[in-house]
Structure 1
Amino acid sequence: MKNLIEVRNLNIAYGGKSNWTNVVQDVSFDIARGEAFGLVGESGCGKSTVAYRLLGYGTVNSLVQTGEVLFDGIDLLKLDTKALTKLRGSRIALVPQNPTTSLSPGMRVGSQIREMIATHKALPQGMSMQSRIVELFALVGLPDVGHRYPHELSGGQQQRVAIAMAVACNPDLLVLDEPTTGLDVTTQRQIIQLLGDLRTRIGMAMLYVTHDLALLAQIADRVSVMYAGQLVEVAPCDQLLKSPAHPYSRGLIASIPTVDGTNSQARGLRGVLRRDQMSTGCKFEPRCDFATTACRTTPQMLEPVAGTRSVACMKWRETAAQQAPAAKPRLDATADAKPERLLSVADLELSYRKPGFFDKLLGRTSPSVVRDIDLELRTGEVIALVGESGSGKSTIARAVSGRLPPRAGLISLDGGLLAPKLKNRSVEQLRQIQYIFQNPDASLNPRRRIRAILARPLDHFGIEADEKALETVLENVGLHAGYLDRFPEQLSGGERQRIAIARALLVNPKLLICDEILSALDVSVQARIVELLRSLKEKHAVAMLFISHDLAVVQQLADRVAVLFRGELMQLADTSTLLNAPLHPYTEMLLEAAPGLSKDHYVSLPPAMPASKAMPGIGCPLAGRCPRQVGSICAETRPPVQNTGSGFVRCHIPAGQLMIRQTLDAIAPTASIYTAETAPAGAP
């Protein structure tokens, strides 16, 4: 198959004037027409720098020192701005990591797609513009949402709009820069399935940049692994995941948490990428468990080793037969303790809309987005809130933190009622509850250096801390003292998130609210942050409300899991119980959607019920989508709460029958236990 893209000996440096630092060194790879090619590596390795050069993009402080980027035989590095503009969007398109910043907030999404098609004169002959826009929405699994603004769409819908714009001109190459970061597992899976379908129907090639190898397993044909600006391994995706050759690839895969715990005994990556500590030989030598003296002084270059696999390690055959040191067993220091209750949430009901004058006059109420939430969090306990986008996870966190006053219900901390509004809470209560946001770009002051950002909460709460304390908290999150004098814009997304975590830890809180704080981090950094959070939990009894879509991370950290869907708690249980016996059908759907390291892992989800038919507070919110719906009772009657020992499940099907059904599913997935004798009362 003829290559569409050929990257040859690409060297890129950052800096200015005579002070240049090489960040990409001798990178070479090719992508065939219709092929999906993955580029993975830790934050700061240079993968996005390479990817954006495929569109002719480069920052003002970057310089291509040597190399070629051949697209259909044309060197993109030699084209002028006019020629590049003609190619971008029409033949090479980009799906960025954050659709919120890539979509214009002041334009309806239909107008933005219209602009793309009109700019490149890509309207198919005989088709109207409106028909083409509707067709593109349908292509990415959306109804006609052209009249909406970006803020009126969920994160998953925004990403689908970004994909629709990217494929509007039927490009030959689609560059995807972390397109599913921050999305819940079911939306992630839908996006991956969508991309696979588009690739088949349109025949476009893909360069998929990510730190998530589990997602690449679902879509990529080949994968290249990048470390410190160099490619260290290129191999077919299934070969790389089953038998990684380079020690870095092995460590990267071992760092990936899995719901089934298959990697729990594997040794992940040590330390973090530090360019100032690299040797003159192999760049990975400081972190390699198999390094020798020769590795320190002998540069390693990518060499063909077998078939289509290439590896940059002179000892890969020897290390492949060796085992890295096993991971240390996890100790739970609070196993025998009976911690006290720290946080209590009772009958919580939340809404984003306040009733207007006529609403009050007519006795109308605005719809609730969260209903009947009861939670208790003990000292040193971690409760994970999981569910799809829009399920109410962050909304609950905002209410606990005082950023969204409840419509009804009470929130208590340490036995004392918390004021509904943030401004009415005491300074001590504000210190005790610290919120770490998902998006550090919006929570870090771009005009302040990191030192000032970390010092501000200390000054606000009157806490004395010296330079050593700032350096220590940076080391705890995988950074070093050199970051103190930098601005947020000089950091990668993962590094900015670590600064946000460090800032929250500095004031010694009792409760941490972690809102998707690991979604933008590399797996190696994720593992380090999880260890840090676990240490805070076990040594300092810090409690956490941990919002995540990654059930594998939840398994590593959480004591209990609360499953939310459309503002209601579907199930609450101990983590091990819930993951091993997910009674509620929606919990099962979440676990099935969790990405694994094999392409045959995914199964199809039932289609979502149209929002227009959803009746909040009437019937089960999962009705119309539940694979085990037993009749009209599910849509018309609110399901009861059933105690299950370690928690509860909200479902019309008796808990005992749910357990039996799970056992039968494990034996014969098509079995059904529902008969006239065993169906829930009221079922047809």
Structure 2
Amino acid sequence: MTKLIEIRNLGIAYGGHAGWTDVVEGVCLEIARGETFGLVGESGCGKSTVAYRLLGYGAANSRVQTGEVLFEGIDLLKLDASSLARLRGNRIALVPQNPTTALSPGMRVGQQIREMILTHQALPERMSMEQRIRDLFALVGLPDVSRRYPHELSGGQQQRVTIAMAVSCNPDLLVLDEPTTGLDVTTQRQIIQLLSDLRSRIGMAMLYVTHDLALLAQIADRIGVMYAGKLVEVAPCDRLLSNPAHPYSRGLIASIPTIMHGHRGGRGLRGVLRRDQMAEGCKFEPRCDFATATCRSTPQQLIPVADEQSVACMRWSDIVDTADSIPSSISGLRPKRQAARLLSVEHLSLSYAPAGWFSELLGKTPIPIARDIDLELGAGEIVALVGESGSGKSTIARAISGRLPPRSGTIRVAAKELEPTLAQRSVEQLRQIQYIFQNPDASLNPRRSVRAILERPLQHFGIASTPEKFESALENVGLHAGYLNRFPEQLSGGERQRVAIARALLVNPELLICDEILSALDVSVQTKIVELLLVLKEQHGVAMLFISHDLAVVRQLADRVAVLYRGELMQMVDTDALFNSPLHPYTEMLLGAAPGLSKDEYVPKPPAMPDSQSIAGRGCPLAGRCPRQVGALCAESRPPSQITQSGFIRCHIPLAELAQGTTDSANTRPTQVSGVPPLLRLQTGA
């Protein structure tokens, strides 16, 4: 294949008056036309820093020390601003991690795409601008949403808009920085399918930066593994995931949980990436189980070890895979026990348009978001709330935390009814419930140091603060005291999220609301946070409402799972029972969409725009999408709640008939549901 872009000996440093610190050292890689290259590694390893240099972007306090970035033989590092502007969006385009901040909130999305096309004069002959924009939306599986503002679209739809904008000029190279972080499994698979289709249609190459190796297995041709600013292994995707050669690659893959078994049960990574403790030789030496004194003093370089596979490790051939002999420290930690009820939610209904005279004056009808939600948590119990984007998971969490007054229903903690809003609740009730948000960029004050961020809740609740308390809080989330004087902008996305988790835990809450808190973290840090949460549960009786789209982590962590679809609880069941025998058609859809570490044949249908009024109707919210729909009954009648052995399920189909279509084995995914193909083809709202 023809080489499109080549990085040669790239070195990048961050710093200023106090000196410069190397964050990327000697990176060499190349991407051919039409190839997808995945770049993985722990938070702070430098993968996004490398990716953004392909567009000529760099932080104000960064500088290129060495190297070249050659695009069709032209060194991008030597181009002036106007030359880079002509390339960006036209020949090299970016899909950022957070579409909410990438899209202008004051412009309709169609106008934003129009601006991109006009900037590069990329409109095909004899085609109107409106038609081109409609075609781009169709390309990413959306109807014409050109007149909508970003806030009127779900997260998955916003991400599709950013992809449509990125490919509007048919770029040769697409740089993707964690494009599916925070999206549910079905939306993730739709976006991966979309990217694969775009690659085959317009022949573009992709650099895909991510920590999600399971998703990468579905799209990447080759993978590069980074550690502490250096590439430690490069190999074809299937070879790296099945037979990694570097100890770090092995530990990274062993840290990945699966929906079949929860944790893989192998040796994961010990310790955390600390640049102040790295050796002069191999940077991974402080964490490597196979390191010798020679490793500490001898720098490692990539050397070929097999066809198209290179590794930076002198001991790669001597390393023995010990995954089968060393069990995971977090597998099997889900003892059954009766606990006193801590949280009780009864008949909760929510909407985002407030009812009352003001709404009536404006002629606005409240749009229902959730209806008739019943939920209980015991002390020390973890209940996972799962469902696709827009199903109402975060809305329910906001109501429990007092950030959204309910239209009806009651919320009790420790048998005491809570006031509907934060302002009405007592200081003790505020301390009892702590909320960890999905996006730490919005929840951490950018003008305060990490020390001040951690100190603020202690001051608010009258808890004594000591340096030891701060250091312990950071160590619990895989950080160290050296972070106390840093500001959020000096941290990676994963490091910011760990600070947010540490802040919530400092005040000893009784209930933690965790809203997609692991989505921005790499798998090794996820493992450490899961271990921490399990310790809090077992030793301190902290209950958690754990909102997540990662079903493998849910199996690893949760005692029970609540499945939500368009504002209605479709199923509530013990975790093992849900994965062993999902029963509900929608639960089977979610499990069928969860990717594994090998490429599969799952092909989702093009997504459909969700009906915002669907839960206000009389029938099942899944009607029209369910592969087992019972004629008009499902569309016209609300399904009854059927009691199961460990919970309930809301469906018209009798339990005995539902059970016939599910697997009895914990080690396999659902394979047959009344004649429906093994991998259910979904038609979903984004």
Q: What TM-score comes out, normalization by structure 1 length?
A: 0.95
1:515 corresponds in structure 2 to: 515
The equivalent of 1:34 in structure 2 is 34
CA distance in 2, matches of 1:247, 1:612: 49
1:221-620 to 2 correspondence within 5 Å?
A: 221-261=221-261, 263-320=263-320, 326-330=326-330, 335=335, 337-355=337-355, 357=357, 366-600=366-600, 602-604=602-604, 608=608, 611=611, 614=614, 616-620=616-620
Whether 2:9 is the aligned partner of 1:24: answer no
Specify the SS of the correspondent of 2:6.
Answer: strand
Change (3 A) 1:358 1:457: closer
1:66 corresponding residue in structure 2: 66
For 1:46-80, what per-residue CA distance to the aligned partner results, in whole angstroms no more than 9, with x for missing partners?
11111111111112211111111110111111111
Check 1:673–1:238 CA distance in 2 against 1; reply closer, same or farther (3 A cut): closer
* Displacement of 1:261: 1.7
Whole-angstrom distance in 1 between the partners of 2:383 and 2:607: 29
Name 1:681's counterpart in structure 2: none
In structure 2, the residue matched to 1:641 is: 641
Q: CA deviation at 1:293?
A: 1.4
Structure 1: how far apart are the matches of 2:463 and 2:116? 53
Q: Distance in 1 between matches of 2:99 and 2:364?
A: 35
* Secondary structure of the structure 1 residue equivalent to 2:28: strand
Q: Distance in 2 between matches of 1:667 and 1:553?
A: 16
Distance in 2 (CA, whole Å) between partners of 1:262 and 1:474 is 26
Q: C-alpha separation between the residues in 2 aligned to 1:263 and 1:558?
A: 13
Q: C-alpha offsets along residues 158-204 of structure 1, whole Å, 9 cap, x if unaligned?
A: 00000000000000000000000111111111110100010010100
Alignment of 1:115-194 (within 5 A): 115-194=115-194
Following superposition, the deviation at residue 494 of structure 1 comes to 0.7
Q: What is the rounded CA distance, in whole Å, between the counterparts of 2:321 and 2:610 in structure 1?
A: 53
Q: Distance in 2 between matches of 1:448 and 1:398?
A: 25
Distance 1:343 1:488 in 2: 33
Native 8 Å contact 1:222 1:234 kept in 2? yes
| Partners of 1:63 and 1:668 in 2: CA distance | 51
Please state how far the C-alpha of 1:339 moved relative to its aligned partner: 1.1
Report the counterpart of residue 631 of structure 1 in structure 2.
Answer: 631
Aligned residues: 674
In the TM superposition, residue 305 of structure 1 has moved relative to its aligned partner by: 1.3
Residues 332 and 538, structure 1, Cα contact 8 Å, conserved in 2: no
Q: Retained in 1: the 8 A contact 2:91–2:172?
A: yes
Change (3 A) 1:70 1:358: closer
Instruction: Quote the Cα distance in structure 2 between the aligned partners of 1:17 and 1:457.
Output: 33
Q: In 2 relative to 1, CA 651–668 (structure 1 residues): closer, same or farther, beyond 3 Å?
A: closer
Residues in 1 aligned to 2:670 and 2:534: alpha-carbon distance in whole angstroms: 38
State whether residues 193 and 603 of structure 2, in contact with CA within 8 Å, keep that contact through their aligned partners in structure 1.
Answer: no
Q: Is the 8 A contact 1:93 1:175 kept in 2?
A: yes
Deviations 1:396-445 (A, max 9, x none): 11111111111111111101111111111111111011111111111111
Alpha carbons of 1:588 and 1:337: their partners in 2 closer, same or farther (altered >3 Å)? closer
Shift of 1:672: 3.4
Question: 387-396 or 353-362: which moved more?
Answer: 353-362
- SS of the counterpart of 2:404? coil
Contact 1:534 1:557 in 2 (8 A): yes
Aligned partner letter, 1:672 = S
Q: Alpha-carbon deviations, 1:273-309, whole Å to 9, x = none?
A: 0010011111101111111111111111001111111
Task: Quote the Cα distance in structure 1 between the aligned partners of 2:87 and 2:396.
Answer: 45
1:608/1:625 contact within 8 Å kept: no
Whether the aligned pair in 1 keeps the contact of 2:141 and 2:607 (CA below 8 Å) is no
Distance 2:440 2:612 in 1: 34
Look up the match of 2:100.
100
Shift of 1:337: 3.9
Q: Residue type of the partner of 1:106? A: G
How far apart, CA to CA, are the structure 1 residues paired with 2:286 and 2:182? Answer: 31
Cα 1:401–1:304 change in 2 (3 A) is: same
Q: CA deviation at 1:21?
A: 1.2
Q: Please, which moves more after superposition, 505-514 or 357-366?
A: 357-366
Change (3 A) 1:441 1:274: same
> Does the 8 Å contact 1:593/1:603 carry over to 2?
no
Label 1:325 to 1:451 Cα distance change in 2 as closer, same or farther (>3 A).
farther
Counterpart secondary structure, 2:206: strand
CA distance in 1, matches of 2:285, 2:101: 38
Contact (CA 8 Å) 1:436, 1:500: kept in 2 or not?
A: yes
Q: Secondary structure at the match of 1:632?
A: helix
What is the match of residue 674 of structure 2? 672
Q: 1:609 to 1:629 in 2, by over 3 A?
A: farther
CA contact (8 A) 2:331 2:556 kept: no
Q: One-letter code of the match for 1:434? A: Q
RMSD of Structure 2 on Structure 1 (CA): 2.1
The range that moved more, 255-264 or 338-347, is: 255-264
Given that 2:393 and 2:564 are in contact with CA atoms closer than 8 Å, whether structure 1 keeps it comes out as yes
Q: Secondary structure at the match of 1:58?
A: coil
Paired with 2:236 and 2:79, the residues of 1 have a C-alpha distance of: 32
Distance change >3 Å, CA 639–CA 221, structure 1 → 2? same
- Letter aligned with residue 587 of structure 2: T
Unaligned runs of at least 5 residues, structure 2 = 677-686
Superposed CA deviations along residues 326-367 of structure 1, whole A, max 9, x for unmatched, are 134548788364210000000100111123538659999623
Q: Check whether the contact 2:189–2:604 (CA below 8 A) recurs between aligned residues.
A: no
Question: SS at 1:157's partner residue?
Answer: helix
Question: CA 1:329/1:59 → structure 2, altered by over 3 Å: closer, same or farther?
Answer: closer
Residue 370 of structure 2 aligns to which amino acid in structure 1? V
Structure 1: gaps spanning 5 or more residues: 675-684
Q: Is the 8 A contact 1:333 1:538 kept in 2?
A: no
CA distance in 1, matches of 2:166, 2:300: 37
Tell me which residue corresponds to 2:215.
Answer: 215
The amino acid of 2:155's aligned partner reads G
Q: Percent identity at matched positions?
A: 73
1:90-109: CA deviation from partner (whole Å, max 9, x where unpaired): 10000000011111111100
Secondary structure at 1:611 match in 2: coil
**Residues 30 and 342 of structure 1: CA distance in aligned 2, closer, same or farther (over 3 Å):** same
CA contact (8 A) 1:278 1:284 kept: yes
State the secondary structure of the residue aligned to 1:400. helix
Q: 1:355 to 1:471 in 2, by over 3 A?
A: same
Q: Classify 1:419/1:613 alpha carbon distance in 2 versus 1 (closer, same or farther; 3 Å).
A: closer
**Residues 245 and 320 in structure 1, CA contact (< 8 A), matched pair in contact too:** no
Q: 1:539 to 1:332 in 2, by over 3 A?
A: farther
In terms of mean alpha carbon deviation, does 331-340 or 243-252 score higher? 331-340
Indicate if the aligned counterparts of 2:265 and 2:331 stay in contact, CA closer than 8 A: no
> What is the letter of the counterpart of residue 535 of structure 1?
V
Per-residue CA distance 1:627-650 (angstroms, 9 max, x = gap): 111211111111110001100110
**Larger relative contact order (C-alpha < 8 A, sep ≥ 6)?**
2
Q: Give the distance between the partners of 2:112 and 2:615, measured in 1 at CA.
A: 32
Residue 589 of structure 1 contacts residue 605 of structure 1 at CA under 8 Å; is this kept in 2? no
Alignment CA distance shift 1:492-1:94 (3 Å)? same
